[in-house]
Structure 1
Amino acid sequence: MVDNCTTGILPSVNSNIENILFSVLYALMSVFICGGNILTIVAVWKTRVLRTIPNMFVVSLAVADLIVGGLVVPMQSMSFVPTLSDIIRTNTYACIIHFEIFNISVSLSIVFMMTIAFDRVLYIGYPFYYQTMVTFNRAKIIIFAGSVISFGFGALPLLSYSMDACSACAMFGKTRFDFELYWNLVSFGIVCVLTSICYGYIFKIARRQRIQCCKDSAPHLMNQIEHDIKLIKIYVLVFGIFFLSWSPNLFVVIVHRFTEYHIPEFVLNITIPISLSNSGLNFLVYSVRNEDFRKAFKKLLLRPSRVVPDNPGCQA
């Protein structure tokens, strides 16, 4: 179809300065994202106090972010290297692999962020049954099932992908409208609504428990509740950063698919690294807001050859 070659967000040849700037940006992002998430994974692996069920999901999220830093970001940077960009823009298989890895990595992040939220709902809402409902073996099954779902969910747009002779590889406009609507708008909206409901319920229950502890004069229970609330605030912050990082990209999709307005490629070039940067920010959140992670990171960085001493900790 000829009109597909002249409408939407079309690839263009970037200036040399733009190519250099984005190539350097993506290189720095890749190092930052991979370094932070590898450190997060190793910290949980080597620190007994961090080997909890919630942190199993945190590690799963870090693996998803590591895929972004190790595969998605380098492949995205290829678009700004003249020789390599021709392969991405004109080779159907290279283009499909590029965006399917992109979709699958985002799906993994979404699934494990929601898993963390549901896990905390069970822990706060049903504290007496949590230890029997959520075990390490069941958590492994959940992680495996979540990974399978993510791969299937991320690969769905592949069923309607099209790339004809007059077109080039582009972020949008190469799949059916309903797939793009489903992937970008509906899935993002459902995730945000469900996760917000989960954390709203969690804070409601935590507030009720705090009031009850004050009435019963139970300081030891109050300390545990305050500790749980701090952890939940960290997970809420992780979700909030995800929402803010991906909102500009979602806005571009909505404008592109629901209006006649032409989106310059430079705008898309700006929103994509903003979205991908989310994969490196979780490490900073853990470093600043979680004392156990902060201590583990310091010991790994200052004494990387030594295993962090084991400490008994709550498995919840």
Structure 2
Amino acid sequence: MYSGNNCLHANTTDLMTWQNYVFIAINVVLTIFICSGNFLTIIAVWRTPVLRTVPNMYVTSLAVADFIAGAVILLQVPIFIPSVKHIVSDIKYLCLFRHVTFFVSVSMSVVSMVAIAFDRTIYISCPLRYMQLATTKRTWMVIVCMWIFSLLIGTMPFYYNNWKPCMNCSIFRVLKMEYQVYIQTSLFAFFCILTACCYGNILRIARRQQRQILEQTTRSRQSHKPQLAQDLKLVKLFGLVFGVFFICYLPAIISVAGGHLGIYVPQMVTNITVPILVLNSGMNFVVYAVKNKDFRRAFVKMTCTKRSKINPVDPTIITVLSKSDESSR
């Protein structure tokens, strides 16, 4: 008969190493960086009227998912503390909760990237109908469906897992290979291809519009080139966000898929690829702060407190006021 104390007693002889302290420090720093950046993004959209647009609704939803991912990284800290690690592993739903919350936020990040790409594709291809199609109500409905989908996919390990008493709460042991390879990896590949196709179509449409604008400007003095350049800047911004997302996620996806397919993946590789993956959740804030002037102004306005200078009262004003008061009497 299983006893959690026996499992714990058998595994408490491990000692903390310098690598453990390094990875704990990395996870804590990542949590502070990711949560603070995404919190500022959410507050910036909420408090700045110019940022309350349909595309930024998806950005805010993505920031919420990234904020959760940053908070969840703290749940990775116990695996670097031997005495606590085995307590977490021996409690089934505590072990699974660490993976479930991570996959919910990851799934939402992937789906948000696709939604942003689709939104920009509609905006570029059908600019006249965009305001009719991308209403606030419809966007809220899409975001709710995205969260429902992410919850359904991310919570699957709760009822489809390999967890057993005294088992190490490792991603390769606790989670099913079918879930990791056939569901998560396949969805990641499919959504990345879909997003890349959207941005490829956007570039094709943008080049065609550029040629049309050049032809029109040769016939008339009116030019719409500044508006097109502004639209392309926004598309490039979201394309950069997707590029950073893809680079950060790819090493973790390869290591997880390889580990489940029988390729030996050292624990050190997993300890490195997971922080790189989670780092993407904080990079969106950096991209917006550097590339988007509206976000940059909102961030500066929130973080830089200006001291209001109170000018001293002019004595002549006091004299005039006192004289007017006496005359009124």
TM over 0.5: yes
CA distance in 2, matches of 1:242, 1:204: 22
CA distance in 2, matches of 1:279, 1:262: 28
Give how far 1:86 is off. 2.3
Secondary structure of 2:155's partner? Answer: helix
Q: Tell me if structure 2 keeps the 8 A contact 1:54–1:119.
A: yes
| Aligned twin of 2:40 | 39
| Aligned twin of 1:252 | 255
Secondary structure of 1:173's partner? Answer: helix
Q: Tell me if structure 1 keeps the 8 A contact 2:88–2:95.
A: yes
Give how far 1:231 is off. 0.6
| Aligned twin of 1:21 | 22
CA-to-aligned-CA distance 1:162-202 (integer Å, 9 cap, x gap):
21235221112333332221233211110110000000001
Give how far 1:81 is off. 2.9
Q: Tell me if structure 1 keeps the 8 A contact 2:79–2:85.
A: yes
Letter in 1 for 2:58: F
| Aligned twin of 2:214 | 214
Give how far 1:113 is off. 1.0
* Residues 14 and 247 of structure 1: CA distance in aligned 2, closer, same or farther (over 3 Å): farther
CA-to-aligned-CA distance 1:209-243 (integer Å, 9 cap, x gap):
11111111175521111111111111111111111
* Residues 140 and 65 of structure 1: CA distance in aligned 2, closer, same or farther (over 3 Å): same
CA-to-aligned-CA distance 1:74-109 (integer Å, 9 cap, x gap):
101222234432222222111111100011010111
| Aligned twin of 2:289 | 287
Following superposition of structure 1 onto structure 2, how do residues 198-209 of structure 1 map, counting pairs within 5 Å?
198-209=198-209
CA-to-aligned-CA distance 1:254-292 (integer Å, 9 cap, x gap):
321223x32211111111001000000000000111111
Residue 303 in structure 1 maps to residue 305 in structure 2: yes
Unpaired runs of 5+ residues, structure 2, are 1-12, 309-329
Give how far 1:304 is off. 8.1
Give the number of equivalent residue pairs: 293
Could you say what the CA RMSD is over the residues aligned between the two structures, in angstroms?
1.9
| Aligned twin of 1:266 | 268
CA distance in 1, matches of 2:17, 2:127: 58
| Aligned twin of 2:189 | 189
Letter in 2 for 1:295: R
Following superposition of structure 1 onto structure 2, how do residues 48-197 of structure 1 map, counting pairs within 5 Å?
48-70=49-71, 72-197=72-197
CA-to-aligned-CA distance 1:120-140 (integer Å, 9 cap, x gap):
111111111110111111111
Q: Tell me if structure 1 keeps the 8 A contact 2:89–2:166.
A: no
Q: Tell me if structure 2 keeps the 8 A contact 1:184–1:253.
A: no
CA distance in 2, matches of 1:219, 1:46: 36
Letter in 2 for 1:192: C
Give how far 1:16 is off. 2.1
Residue 223 in structure 1 maps to residue 226 in structure 2: yes
Give how far 1:13 is off. 5.3
Letter in 1 for 2:127: P
Q: Tell me if structure 2 keeps the 8 A contact 1:213–1:219.
A: no
* Residues 73 and 212 of structure 1: CA distance in aligned 2, closer, same or farther (over 3 Å): same
* Residues 252 and 219 of structure 1: CA distance in aligned 2, closer, same or farther (over 3 Å): farther
Task: Return the TM-score normalized by structure 1.
Answer: 0.88
Task: Return the TM-score normalized by structure 2.
Answer: 0.85
Which structure ranks higher in relative contact order (CA pairs < 8 Å, sequence separation ≥ 6)?
1
Give how far 1:73 is off. 0.8
Q: Percentage identity across aligned positions?
A: 38
CA distance in 2, matches of 1:79, 1:88: 8
CA distance in 2, matches of 1:273, 1:183: 22
Comparing 156-165 and 93-102, the one that deviates more: 156-165
CA distance in 2, matches of 1:238, 1:13: 41
Unpaired runs of 5+ residues, structure 1, are 1-11, 307-316
